[in-house]
Structure 1
Amino acid sequence: MANETKKSVAVWQPFFFGGGAEAVALWVLEALHHEYDVTLFTLSEVDFSWLNAMYATQLSDKEITVKAQLPERLKKWAHTLISDNKIARMAFIYWTIREFKKSAYQYDVVFSAFNGLDMGRPGIQYLHWVHVIEKKFPKAQPWLKALMVWADFSHERLCENFSIANSEYTAEQVQQCYGIEADVVFPPVVTQINTLPWSEKENAFLCSGRVVKAKQTHRVINILKAVRDKGFDIKLHITGGGGGVYGRGYLKQIEALAQQNSDWIYLHQNLPYDDYLKIVSRCRYGIHYKTEPFGISVAEMLKADMIPFVRSNGGQREIVGAEHQDILFANEAEGIEKIVRVLGDEDLKMHLLQSLKQRKDLFSTERFMDEIRETVKKYFDRLEQKAAVPAQK
């Protein structure tokens, strides 16, 4: 390899379109490139200067070797196809898998930053959720079966990997779906937020993320409307775009609700990033209805010194801490009850604020990098132990 004094690590991340998975991949690269000779396998060339600005990394092609499969002239065309067509997106993913597997044995360790993967040999995989790029063969659609056969995708090889999950909740699903254990390493929160003192914040809730049916934005509105009906003068900022052409109907529903309640609901779509951060910094409370594998937007709320109200099951419970029962709810009725109680009790609010601040370091980039480095070291130690066993016989 390029540097014989370092062990080599090949990291697979199919593409960089923005989001929590990309943040994990980039901070894996940041964590490893000082100690290892790191190569990134991906679909198209990456602009590290742009990604560094988005995710607060300090990467460059001088430190990371990039193996991109797609010629630069075809990048825009491919990205359009990937955005508009699920089958095309998966076809490009499986193309990168095929090429990655061809080179897997050239490296000391292979690392999938994008979920469970057959890499052609055992390696390390970081799972954001289960069955993201594959399904058990009998349950796969015909087109997915064809792609899995094309890439010689094996669940048996996937299950030989050392697994990391983004939450205990995901780790439980990994155990149920694949029959394997996974260590937990929380993703890093990379958003740079200038928090305001509580007294300067707006008496408002933030609901962030895509405005799609799966996020249940209408239930957030139902809850906060009921809270307002009980005499609390609160506002709601909804940030995020819709779900494309297929999600347009739901977005129109939320737009109509926001217009009907325009005195207290503000729907922000396609905000410049700096404007989004200003809204995040000035909201006192957050609310998230969907059960998530992790819930990066909830972790951002925590970093912004909000009091976030979230569902009582799923990965977001691990972000705020199961001990904070005052902000965990199972359904709309309990959500209303919990929010009314907190809003009406100043001492409880201050207690929650101080207690939640203690959890912010759990999602720091420093902690994430330490745990990734420890995982890779542990993996190499296991390889050495296995190699030593035959020599002892």
Structure 2
Amino acid sequence: MARVAVVHNTLDLRGGADAVCLHACEALARNHDVTLVTLSHPPLSELDALFDTDAAGVDVVTPPAGRALGRVLAAAAPRVGPQLPARSALLDRLLARRRGEFDLVVSTANEFDVPGPSVQYVHYPQFRAAADDEGGLGNRLWSRLAVSDGLPDDARLLANSSYTAAAVERRYGRTPSVLHPPVDPIEGAAEWPDREDGVVILGRLAPDKRTLAALELVDRARERGADLSVHVVGTAAPAYREYAERVAAAVAERPHARLHRDASRAELERLLTSNKYGLSAKPGEHFGMAVAEYVAAGMVAFAPDSGGQRDVLDGDPDRLYGSPAEGATLLAAAVERGDRPRRARDRFRHERFHDRFRAVVRETLPDAARRRHTT
């Protein structure tokens, strides 16, 4: 049994990266002594209920002031953003002090310049080159502190999509293996004729998810004759409270729309399996967990023609749009034709992710730890 640290900058945002972290903890805890190292987090039992995982028994290590710092960053987030690189750089200091306690470090929060063997799952590179203006001065400052020139040679890199893998190659000159996140098929789906002619907009109520833009896209489809209802389903982290209030007001203005805020997993699955269409409005999504959930529920899914969502929808030109106007046209046309789902619902099931993640960790363990694991 190896001693494995799973490192994740914060679990407060309750997004797709956090789901990967919880699944990684569950997968590795079956064979290893796992410690979750994070800056701040809600009770793991809450996250297990949200992501349908079983990681609440994992030991957790946080900095002494981690929760207070997490609250400060969350309060400032509506003005300065969630500051994930800053959180990672601060967490890196804690990890450096305790690195000797672990045989292997597993990051589920992108890249770290951590000494010794590591597995690093990259949702998108969080640190930029010094000459790269993307992310502004603050990002470049944290990049200097956390990742100087590159990543350790013995870091095993994984990426959530081919889009992210290409971004890692551009930034670090190394191409990760692609391991799509876990998304299980959702059972109990209604027969297609019995489903509501409704659009589900799933995701954090946050500016980057462009929930308001998705609502406007459905408005355009309705103007083209598609008689669609809308269900906005999402969590409202403190960091995005102001945007969540704007979304709630926009939904209230539309008689055909309803907001399901902080819905339970059971309620989410009911909505996904009883409506026909799923919509994402965020361009350049690094993977697209919501779109994968639509596929898993047997829905007809639409997303911007960029990012990891192209992986999820196999580059389908009838489902990927380049502008809101095109998206509205595609959605209205699918409704008029009576299109049905085309994608396999089980392609991202969690067993595939767990098995591959455990294999990568086993292959990356130092020899001594591997021998302990096999004896």
Per the normalisation by structure 1, the TM-score is 0.79
Q: Show the counterpart of 2:353.
A: 368
Q: Which AA in structure 1 matches 2:306? A: N
| Alpha-carbon shift at residue 257 of structure 1 (Å) | 4.5
Matched, 1:100 2:95: yes
* CA–CA separation in structure 2 for the residues paired with 1:249 and 1:46: 21
Gaps of 5+ in 1: 1-5, 385-393
Q: Show the counterpart of 2:166.
A: 172
Q: Show the counterpart of 2:107.
A: 112
Instruction: Indicate if the aligned counterparts of 1:45 and 1:66 stay in contact, CA closer than 8 A.
Output: no
Of the candidates 4, 17, 21, which is equivalent to residue 9 of structure 1? 4
Q: Show the counterpart of 1:125.
A: 120
Of the candidates 196, 221, 228, which is equivalent to residue 215 of structure 2? 221
SS at match of 1:203: strand
| Alpha-carbon shift at residue 115 of structure 1 (Å) | 0.5
Q: Which AA in structure 1 matches 2:276? A: R
Question: Larger relative CO (CA 8 A, sep 6+): 1 or 2?
Answer: 2
Distance 1:377 1:147, change over 3 A: same
* CA–CA separation in structure 2 for the residues paired with 1:251 and 1:191: 32
* CA–CA separation in structure 1 for the residues paired with 2:85 and 2:194: 47
* CA–CA separation in structure 1 for the residues paired with 2:265 and 2:252: 24
Q: Which AA in structure 2 matches 1:127? A: V
| Alpha-carbon shift at residue 223 of structure 1 (Å) | 3.1
Structure with higher helix content? 1
Aligned residue pairs: how many?
A: 359
Instruction: Indicate if the aligned counterparts of 2:203 and 2:235 stay in contact, CA closer than 8 A.
Output: yes
Instruction: Indicate if the aligned counterparts of 1:212 and 1:251 stay in contact, CA closer than 8 A.
Output: no
Q: Show the counterpart of 1:377.
A: 362
Bigger Rg over Cα: 1
Q: Show the counterpart of 1:25.
A: 21
Q: Show the counterpart of 1:136.
A: 129
Of the candidates 242, 251, 261, which is equivalent to residue 248 of structure 1? 242
| Alpha-carbon shift at residue 91 of structure 1 (Å) | 5.4
Q: Show the counterpart of 1:390.
A: none
| Alpha-carbon shift at residue 177 of structure 1 (Å) | 1.8
* CA–CA separation in structure 2 for the residues paired with 1:60 and 1:236: 34
Q: Which AA in structure 2 matches 1:217? A: T
Distance 1:195 1:82, change over 3 A: farther
Distance 1:41 1:221, change over 3 A: closer
Distance 1:378 1:85, change over 3 A: same
Equivalent positions of 1:178-327 (< 5 A) are 178-189=172-183, 194-240=188-234, 248=242, 252=246, 254-255=247-248, 257-262=250-255, 264-291=256-283, 292-322=285-315, 324-327=316-319
| Alpha-carbon shift at residue 175 of structure 1 (Å) | 0.9
Identity of paired residues, percent?
26
Distance 1:143 1:285, change over 3 A: closer
Gaps of 5+ in 2: 368-375
Instruction: Indicate if the aligned counterparts of 1:159 and 1:178 stay in contact, CA closer than 8 A.
Output: no
Distance 1:255 1:187, change over 3 A: same
Distance 1:245 1:179, change over 3 A: closer
Matched, 1:84 2:69: no
Per the normalisation by structure 2, the TM-score is 0.82
Instruction: Indicate if the aligned counterparts of 1:52 and 1:58 stay in contact, CA closer than 8 A.
Output: yes
| Alpha-carbon shift at residue 332 of structure 1 (Å) | 2.4
Instruction: Indicate if the aligned counterparts of 2:305 and 2:322 stay in contact, CA closer than 8 A.
Output: yes
* CA–CA separation in structure 1 for the residues paired with 2:28 and 2:206: 36
Instruction: Indicate if the aligned counterparts of 1:169 and 1:293 stay in contact, CA closer than 8 A.
Output: yes
Q: Show the counterpart of 1:391.
A: none
* CA–CA separation in structure 2 for the residues paired with 1:345 and 1:224: 17
